[in-house]
Structure 1
Amino acid sequence: MSYDAVIVDNDGVLTKPTPTNVHRAAVRAAFSEFGVEPTTEGVDGVVHGSLTHVRRVCEVHGVDYEEFWPRHEANAAAAQAAAIERGEKTLYDDVSALVDLDRTLALVSNNQHETVETILEAFELDSLFEVAYGRDPTVEGYRNRKPSPHYLERAIDELDAERVLYVGDSNVDVLAASRAGADSAFVRRPHREDYRLAGDPTYEVQSLADVASLC
């Protein structure tokens, strides 16, 4: 099919996933601003859990979660920027396949918008994408992550595109694309080798070069 625009996810598609230890360090740094030393279980509850888990961990330590969350987002963005500088968070080699793709390109990520901006600048991708969205550093921004189509729909509206392909590496990407009325391409990266899809994407591919061939 011919697409007006191709929109890609970031983590697991453009860049390799952020190491878990980086996310954990960001959670500990955020809690330290409130004079709290959370348990490993509590830290992982924030890293891997929902807002309900975050609220519960904050309640255990007597911290208002709505005050905690913006501090978490700032620390997470800073920790990932440092990981990029250390070479711990890098681009996939096949991102170069997007450079010559004769389609409007955009980026929509569940990561913080600040982190998205850092990645675009650090890897000199600013001119590649017409639109780029990450989540707002608020509780509401976190609620609007995929599988909500919120940010994906914003990007599609801004591009004024009718036929859109969204490229991701998870079930939430496939579902968000469906909810936004877009086709989806699931990239089965090495970290997704045994990953089970809950629904059927429009395409399943092995690389961004395969995505380019679809267009």
Structure 2
Amino acid sequence: MTASRIALIFDLDGTLIDSAPDLHLATNLVLRDEGLPEITFEQTRSFIGKGASNLISRVMAAVGLGDDPDDHARLLSKFMAHYEGEPANTVLYPGVADALARLEAAAHPMGLCTNKPDAPTRIALRHFGLDRFMRTVASGDTLPQRKPDPAPLQHVARALGASRALYIGDSEVDAETARRAGLPFALYTEGYRKTPVSELYHTYVFDHFDQLPDIVARHGASVEA
């Protein structure tokens, strides 16, 4: 890999795809089936980022269910049964497909690092035609560790053979993962972040994917200097 070819590692939910509508729907289908109060879209959105198990834990707390492991296992199983199908309401963020095509044309190897379970991750990548861009994928159950532990991000970087890599994500979890991995981080501001940008670790900031190829080009030039 030449110095200008930067390995690009992406988060998924809140970065490449807006999956909150389908996550909200699946969650409330479970709660409805359990005879429990449903949660709001904004609550669901705020629970995204640390994987399905954590989402269910936070849902249980929100509806006053406690933290019984058997309840958690039952609700998580029901949630995954609803969520593992083709995404019905999930959408790509604007400019994603074009940006990835431009980055592929520039010969940047790309991979994915997400806390989303592997089955819905693969389904989403195929559904949106993103699988052709991603040479390697670390999902929420690829390793024992999950973000913000740096191990999954480091795993993808190694698999891409990267001497230089840039992580692209949207959330507090992504920022902390990049910081702990010692990687530069491009923060997409239109995802699920709740913390002000100024308070998050980041190297670059962008609010539309049409800006990302230029950021990558600038980063490549900076590491060559």
Q: TM-score normalised to the size of structure 2?
A: 0.71
Name the stretch that deviates more: 59-68 or 155-164: 59-68
User: What 5-or-longer segments of structure 1 have no aligned partner?
Assistant: none
Q: Is the 8 A contact 1:28 1:37 kept in 2?
A: no
Matched residue of 1:110: which SS?
Answer: coil
Percent identical residues: 23
Cα RMSD of the aligned pairs, angstroms, is 3.6
Would the aligned equivalents of 1:184 and 1:202 in 2 still touch at CA under 8 Å? yes
Segments of 5+ residues of structure 2 without an aligned counterpart are: 48-53, 221-225
Q: Which residue of 2 aligns with 1:29?
A: 29
Q: Is the 8 A contact 1:97 1:212 kept in 2?
A: no
* Aligned 8 A contact 1:149 1:176 in 2: yes
Please tell me whether the aligned partners of residues 59 and 65 of structure 1 are also in contact (alpha carbons under 8 angstroms).
no
Counterpart contact for 2:178–2:184, Cα < 8 Å = yes
2:9 alignment partner, SS class: strand
Partner amino acid, structure 1, of 2:217: S
CA distance in 1, matches of 2:45, 2:190: 22
Aligned match of 1:67 in 67, 74, 82?
Answer: 74
Partners of 1:171 and 1:197 within 8 A in 2: no
Task: Note the 1:1-215 alignment, pairs <5 A.
Answer: 2=4, 4-15=6-17, 17-20=18-21, 22-31=22-31, 36-41=34-39, 48-49=46-47, 50=54, 52-54=57-59, 56=61, 57-59=64-66, 64-78=71-85, 81-84=87-90, 89-99=91-101, 100-136=105-141, 144-189=145-190, 195-206=196-207, 207-214=211-218, 215=220
Match of 2:50 in 1: none
Kindly tell me the number of residue pairs found equivalent between the two proteins.
202
Taking the aligned partners of 1:190 and 1:128, their CA distance within structure 2 comes to 21
Within 2, Cα distance between the matches of 1:62 and 1:11?
Answer: 26
